[in-house]
Structure 1
Amino acid sequence: MKIKIYTLLLAIGLVILASCEKDTPRYLPYEGYTFTELNANGGDWTPVLLDAGDAIDIDAPDATDSQAYQDELDAVKTAIVSMTSKEKNAVKYWTNNPTVRWNEIALELIAKYNLIPGPNEDGTYTLPNPANPEGPPAFPFAHPPYACRALAYMSVAQFDGLISAWHYKYQYNRAAPYQVDEGIKYAYEENDIPSYPSDGAVIARASRNILTAMFPLEAEYLQQLEEEHLESLINSGSNVQSDITAGVAIGDAVSAMGLSRASTDGMSKAQTPKAVSDSIKQAAFERFGWAWDNLEIPERPVGLTPLFSKVTMWSIDDVESVRPIPPPQLDSQEYLDDVELLKDYARNMTDEHRRIANFWQDGLGTYTPPGHWNRIANEFIVEYRLNPLQTARTLAYMNMAIMDSGISCWDAKYYYHYPRPIQQIENFETIAGTPNFPSYTSGHSVFSAAASEVLAYIFPDEASKVRGWAEEAAISRVYGGIHWSFDATVGTDQGREVAQYTIDRARADGADN
C-alpha cells in the first residue's frame, strides 16, 4: 500500500492546534522552590567536555564590602523597585531552576521544526540546508535523530558549565545579594548556594548559543529570551551584574567546546546522497536477501539519515559492539507468527490499544520521542526539587544515553535494512502512517528504554513506573502497525544495554559520593 504523506503537510497547522498537551510543549506550572540538596562538592564532579578536575577560567570576584560591589547592590535595588509587570512576570517564569525552562524552549523549537520537507512540483525533494537555513525548505527538519542530538549538546554544555560554576561558587563563597543586603527581597525560596558566578547566566548563555546553532532561524527569538532571563537574575535579587558577567563567560566557553565537538561528530554527513543510500540498501540485500522499500507517494529518494550510525557517540567507542541480534528470516516461523499477530491487532483494534498508539505517537509537529522523555524528566525534576546542577546532570546523562541509543538504533536499521509490516503484509494498513527508514529496531523502543534506565538510576523510586512506560511506548508501535513485535522487544533490550554505558559513567562522576 502506498502512503500519501504530502497531504499531511497541508494540514499540519491543524494537527498542531489539535494536539494534546504533550504534543505542543506547555510550561510546567512551577515556581521557585527549596532545593533538596545544595551539592557543595559539585565543582569536583567529572564533566563531559572538559577534562576531569578542570574548570573554565574566570576572575576572582570583588569582596562584598568593596565599593564596586556596593554599587552593584544599589543597581539591584533600583532595578527591583522599578520593575514593570512584564518584568515581574519574567521573574516568576524563569524561577531559580531555569535549566528546565531552557529545556522546554528546546522542545518548543523541535516541535516547530519537526516537519517533513514537502516535494517540489516535479515530485523531487530539496533537503534542508544549514548553509541556507531560510530555504525553502527551512532548516532544520527536527526529526528524532536531530532532536536527540540538539538536546544532548545543550544539556551537556549546561552540565559542564554548572560544574565550573559550582567550583568557583564554593571557592569564593560570595553570598547572594539578598543575603548581603536586607533591603533586597529575594523572589524565590531562599537557599545558601553562593552567587558568584551566576548559575542562571551560565544556563542562559550556554543554552542560547547551542540552540542558535541548532535552530539558526530562531537567533533573534533566542537572544530575546536570554536577555529577559539575564534581566530576571537582577530583578529577582539572585545576582549582581558581576555574577552574571562571570556566568556568561563560562557559558560562552563551554558552548564553544560543545559546538566544536558537534562540528566534527559526523552529523553533517548523516543524510546521504542517493548513491550512498542505494549502496547501503544493496549491501543489506546481498547480506540478507531482503531490503526495506519506501512506499510514500511521491517517494523520497533517500531514507532518513542513513549514516546517523556514524555519528560520534558519547559513552561508547564502537557502535557495532552494541549492534543487536539479526531479525528473523522472512520465511521463519517467528516471522510468520508476527505477521498473524499484527493482522490480529489490526482486525481487533481496541480503544485502549488505539489510545496507547496515539499517546506515544510523537510524530510530525511534536517534540519527538526524545522530547517526550525530556518532558517526563522535567516533571520528576520539579517534583523531587532538584537544584540546577542536579537538573543539568539528569538531563545531560539522559540525553547522552538517548543520543547513543539512537545512533545504535540507526546502525541496526541500515545494517539490517529490514522491511516494515506495510511492505510485507498484503493490504495492510497502519493507524499512523509509516516512517521513512527501515523497521528493525524500533526507534521509539530504543529511545524510551534508554531514557527510562537513566531516569530509573536518578529517581530509583520511579524505576518501575518509567520502565513500564518505556515498554508501553515500545508496544504502541506494534499496536499502530508501524513495527514488528521483535522490533519493539529487541529494541527495548538494545536501549537498556546502551544506556548502561552512560549510567556507568554517571556513577563514576563523583555525584554519588
Structure 2
Amino acid sequence: MYNKISTLLWAIALVVLASCEKDTPRYLPYESYAYSELDENGGDWTPVLHDSGASIPVDAPESSDSQAYQAELADLKADMQSMTSEQKKAVKYWTNNPTIRWNEVALELIAKYNLIPGPNADGTYTLPNPSNPEGPPAFPFAHPPYACRALAYMSVAQFDGLISAWHYKYQYNRAAPYQQDGDIDFAYEENAIPSYPSDGAVIARASRNILTAMFPLEAEYLQGLEEEHLESLRLSGGHVMSDVTAGVAIGDVVSATALARASTDGMSKAQTPKAVSDSIKQAAYDRFGWAWDNLEIPVRPVGLTPLFGKVTMWSIDDVESVRPIAPPQLDSQEFLDDVELLKDYARNMTDEHRRIANFWQDGLGTYTPPGHWNRIANEFIVDYRLNPLQTTRTLAYMNMAIMDSGISCWDAKYYYHYPRPIQMIEGFETIAGTPNFPSYTSGHSVFSAAASEVLAYVFPEEASKFRGWAEEAAISRVYGGIHWSFDATVGTDQGRAVAQYTIDRAMADGADQ
C-alpha cells in the first residue's frame, strides 16, 4: 500500500511542479488599506541581527526645495503621466504593504520546489545539490525544514531592514512626493510616514536577495519581480528615485547579514551521508531498543535531514534544554492503547476526520505546514491593518519560532528515532503515505503550536482561535494515521514551550512600550 501511495504522490508532485512553472498563483485578494497606526518610534526597536536601527549608515537626503529633488519630482510626474495599463496593474498589485506579496512569492516557490527526489533507474537516489542547482534533481527540495528556514531568514532581514528605514524616515523626515506636489496623485491611502528611505524598496531588495540564495534557479524571475516592485514604488506617487535607492542600499546590507548567518548555521550538514545516518539510528537503538525504518520501495538510505536538530537556533542556546520527554516503551500500556486508538480511527474514519486530515496535510507540492501558518498570518495582518513595520515584526518572530520549533522537533525525532504507526501495526494503512523521518514528535504539531503562540501574542483577541487551529493541525496527523497521539500532544506542548523563548525576545524589543 505504501509504495502505491508513494508513487501516486510522486506523480501528483510532478503535475504540481509543471503547473507552477506555467502559472504561479497569487494567494490573498487584498488591496491597499489605511494603517491602524504608524509606529513613529519604530526606528528605536531592537533588530534581530543588527545592533540598532542606526547601525546601517544612510546619508541625509537632498532637501525638498533643492534643485536635485525638484528634478526628481519632475521626472516622477512625467513617468506617471505615461503609465501603461500593465504598470497601473502592478501598482495596484504591490499595495502599500508589499511584505505580504513577497511572502506569497516565497510560498509559491516553496510549493514549486516541494518535490521529493525520486529514485534513479537502478534504485539509488540522487540528492539535490546546491553546487548544481539545475540537477537533476533540481535544488532545492523545499521540505518543511528548508521552508521554515527560508521564511525565517527572509522575514528577519525584512524586519531589521524596516527598523533601519523607520529610524532614518523620522530622523530626516522628508515628506512623500504626493505631499510635496499637489499635482501628484497617490495610489494608496494617504499617511504621514516620511518617504526617505523607501520601506518598500528595503523589502524588495532584501526579499529578492534572500529568495535568490534559497532558490537559485529563480534568479531571473525574482529579478523581474523586484524591478516591477521598485518601479511601482515610484509610479504610486509615494517615492522619488533617491527614496528607492536608499531603501535598496538598506536591503542589501540586511540580506547580506542574514545570508552570512545562514552560511554558518549548520544547514549545509543537515542532510547526512548514510554512514552518519546509520550511526544516529544505531545510537537510538542502543539507547532505547527501537529504531524507525523507512518503508518505501526502493528504500531511501537516509532519512530527511537527520542533523537539522543541530542547526543554530534563533532564541535558544541549547536544543537539548527543550527536548521533550521520551515516548512510551513499545510494550507499555500507553503504547498499546494508542495502537488501538489508531486502529479505531482507521476503521471508523468519519467525513469530518478526513476533512481535517486533508486540510492540514500540507504535503508534496504545497507550501508545507510553516507556509500554511504564514498564509494564516497574512490574513490577520490585513484584517488588523498592520503597517509594514508591524507586518515584518509579526512574520519575523513567527518564522523564528517556527524554525526554532522545527530544529527542536528534529532533534527529538532523531534522538528518539521512534517508529511510525505504519511500521508497528501490521496491515495498517495511512491516508497519504508516511514521511521520510521518525515519528516522535509530530512536526505539524510543533510547527503549528509555535506559530499559533506567536500569533496569539500579536493578536491576543484571536488567541483561542489560533490555539484551536494548532490543536486541530496536531490531531489531523493522528486521524491520518501518520502519527501516534502522543506525537501530537507532546509536540504541541513542545512547540508552545519553544515559542515562548521567541515571545520573550519580542516583548523586550521595545515595540510594546
> Into which bin does the TM-score normalised by the smaller protein fall?
over 0.9
Give me the whole-angstrom Cα distance separating, in 2, the residues matched to 1:18 and 1:186.
Answer: 36
Question: What whole-Å deviation, never above 9, does each CA across 1:164-202 have from its counterpart, x for those lacking one?
Answer: 000000000000000000000000000000000000000
Whether the 8 Å contact between 1:3 and 1:296 is mirrored in structure 2 is: yes
1:13 to partner: Cα distance: 4.3
Counterpart for residue 443 of structure 1 = 443
1:93 to partner: Cα distance: 0.1
Question: Residue 340 of structure 1 aligns to which amino acid in structure 2?
Answer: E
Counterpart check, 1:182 vs 2:213: no
Counterpart for residue 10 of structure 2 = 9
Give me the whole-angstrom Cα distance separating, in 1, the residues matched to 2:66 and 2:413.
Answer: 62
Counterpart for residue 104 of structure 1 = 104
Give me the whole-angstrom Cα distance separating, in 1, the residues matched to 2:239 and 2:495.
Answer: 41
3-state SS of paired residue (2:394): helix
Counterpart check, 1:497 vs 2:500: no
Question: Residue 311 of structure 1 aligns to which amino acid in structure 2?
Answer: V
Whether the 8 Å contact between 2:323 and 2:412 is mirrored in structure 1 is: yes
1:2 to partner: Cα distance: 4.4
3-state SS of paired residue (1:338): helix
Counterpart for residue 391 of structure 1 = 391
Counterpart for residue 417 of structure 1 = 417
Give me the whole-angstrom Cα distance separating, in 2, the residues matched to 1:101 and 1:228.
Answer: 12
Question: Residue 507 of structure 1 aligns to which amino acid in structure 2?
Answer: M
Whether the 8 Å contact between 1:56 and 1:164 is mirrored in structure 2 is: yes
1:10 to partner: Cα distance: 2.5
Counterpart for residue 213 of structure 1 = 213
1:115-126 equivalent positions in 2, closer than 5 A: 115-126=115-126
Which stretch has the larger CA shift, 245-254 or 49-58?
49-58
Counterpart for residue 479 of structure 1 = 479
Question: What whole-Å deviation, never above 9, does each CA across 1:186-228 have from its counterpart, x for those lacking one?
Answer: 0000000000000000000000000000000000000000000
Counterpart for residue 464 of structure 1 = 464
Give me the whole-angstrom Cα distance separating, in 1, the residues matched to 2:346 and 2:352.
Answer: 13
RMSD: 1.3
Give me the whole-angstrom Cα distance separating, in 1, the residues matched to 2:496 and 2:213.
Answer: 30
Question: What whole-Å deviation, never above 9, does each CA across 1:97-142 have from its counterpart, x for those lacking one?
Answer: 0000000000000000000001100000000000000000000000
Counterpart for residue 82 of structure 2 = 82
Counterpart for residue 453 of structure 1 = 453
1:52 to partner: Cα distance: 3.8
Give me the whole-angstrom Cα distance separating, in 2, the residues matched to 1:352 and 1:344.
Answer: 15
Give me the whole-angstrom Cα distance separating, in 2, the residues matched to 1:53 and 1:256.
Answer: 16
Counterpart for residue 29 of structure 1 = 29
Give me the whole-angstrom Cα distance separating, in 1, the residues matched to 2:19 and 2:139.
Answer: 24
1:53 to partner: Cα distance: 5.7
Whether the 8 Å contact between 1:25 and 1:107 is mirrored in structure 2 is: no
Give me the whole-angstrom Cα distance separating, in 2, the residues matched to 1:389 and 1:306.
Answer: 36
3-state SS of paired residue (2:3): coil
Question: What whole-Å deviation, never above 9, does each CA across 1:371-416 have from its counterpart, x for those lacking one?
Answer: 0000000000000000000000000000000000000000000000
Describe the shift of the 1:17–1:354 C-alpha distance in structure 2 as closer, same or farther (beyond 3 A): farther
Question: Residue 6 of structure 1 aligns to which amino acid in structure 2?
Answer: T
Give me the whole-angstrom Cα distance separating, in 1, the residues matched to 2:389 and 2:78.
Answer: 30
Counterpart check, 1:148 vs 2:154: no
Give me the whole-angstrom Cα distance separating, in 2, the residues matched to 1:16 and 1:346.
Answer: 31
Counterpart for residue 400 of structure 1 = 400
Describe the shift of the 1:509–1:101 C-alpha distance in structure 2 as closer, same or farther (beyond 3 A): same
Counterpart for residue 371 of structure 1 = 371
3-state SS of paired residue (2:55): coil
Whether the 8 Å contact between 2:53 and 2:160 is mirrored in structure 1 is: no
Question: Residue 9 of structure 1 aligns to which amino acid in structure 2?
Answer: W
Whether the 8 Å contact between 1:3 and 1:434 is mirrored in structure 2 is: no
Quote the sequence identity (%). 85
1:262 to partner: Cα distance: 0.2
Give me the whole-angstrom Cα distance separating, in 1, the residues matched to 2:312 and 2:268.
Answer: 12
Counterpart for residue 45 of structure 1 = 45
Give me the whole-angstrom Cα distance separating, in 1, the residues matched to 2:181 and 2:119.
Answer: 62
1:15 to partner: Cα distance: 5.5
1:26 to partner: Cα distance: 3.3
Whether the 8 Å contact between 1:452 and 1:470 is mirrored in structure 2 is: yes
Give me the whole-angstrom Cα distance separating, in 1, the residues matched to 2:166 and 2:91.
Answer: 23
Whether the 8 Å contact between 1:6 and 1:118 is mirrored in structure 2 is: no
Question: What whole-Å deviation, never above 9, does each CA across 1:349-373 have from its counterpart, x for those lacking one?
Answer: 0000000000000000000000000
3-state SS of paired residue (1:300): coil
Give me the whole-angstrom Cα distance separating, in 2, the residues matched to 1:290 and 1:32.
Answer: 55
1:25 to partner: Cα distance: 5.3
Give me the whole-angstrom Cα distance separating, in 2, the residues matched to 1:199 and 1:52.
Answer: 16
Give unpaired runs (5+ residues) of structure 2.
none
Give me the whole-angstrom Cα distance separating, in 2, the residues matched to 1:451 and 1:44.
Answer: 26
1:12 to partner: Cα distance: 2.4
Counterpart check, 1:292 vs 2:292: yes
Counterpart for residue 202 of structure 1 = 202
TM-score calculated relative to the size of structure 1: 0.98
1:16 to partner: Cα distance: 7.0
Question: Residue 12 of structure 2 aligns to which amino acid in structure 1?
Answer: A
Give me the whole-angstrom Cα distance separating, in 1, the residues matched to 2:19 and 2:390.
Answer: 35
1:58 to partner: Cα distance: 1.3
1:59 to partner: Cα distance: 1.0
3-state SS of paired residue (1:291): coil
Give me the whole-angstrom Cα distance separating, in 1, the residues matched to 2:233 and 2:17.
Answer: 33
Whether the 8 Å contact between 1:34 and 1:385 is mirrored in structure 2 is: yes
Describe the shift of the 1:53–1:244 C-alpha distance in structure 2 as closer, same or farther (beyond 3 A): closer
1:480 to partner: Cα distance: 0.0
Whether the 8 Å contact between 1:397 and 1:454 is mirrored in structure 2 is: yes
Question: Residue 440 of structure 2 aligns to which amino acid in structure 1?
Answer: Y
Whether the 8 Å contact between 1:55 and 1:167 is mirrored in structure 2 is: no
Counterpart check, 1:304 vs 2:301: no
Give me the whole-angstrom Cα distance separating, in 2, the residues matched to 1:382 and 1:396.
Answer: 16
3-state SS of paired residue (1:3): helix
1:293-332 equivalent positions in 2, closer than 5 A: 293-332=293-332
Whether the 8 Å contact between 2:45 and 2:163 is mirrored in structure 1 is: yes
Give me the whole-angstrom Cα distance separating, in 2, the residues matched to 1:341 and 1:125.
Answer: 35
Whether the 8 Å contact between 2:2 and 2:433 is mirrored in structure 1 is: no
Question: Residue 10 of structure 1 aligns to which amino acid in structure 2?
Answer: A
Counterpart check, 1:426 vs 2:426: yes
Give me the whole-angstrom Cα distance separating, in 2, the residues matched to 1:13 and 1:153.
Answer: 28
Give me the whole-angstrom Cα distance separating, in 1, the residues matched to 2:223 and 2:274.
Answer: 38
Counterpart for residue 260 of structure 1 = 260
Give me the whole-angstrom Cα distance separating, in 2, the residues matched to 1:28 and 1:47.
Answer: 28
**Structure 1 stretches of at least 4 aligned residues deviating more than 4 Å after TM superposition:** 13-19
1:9 to partner: Cα distance: 2.0
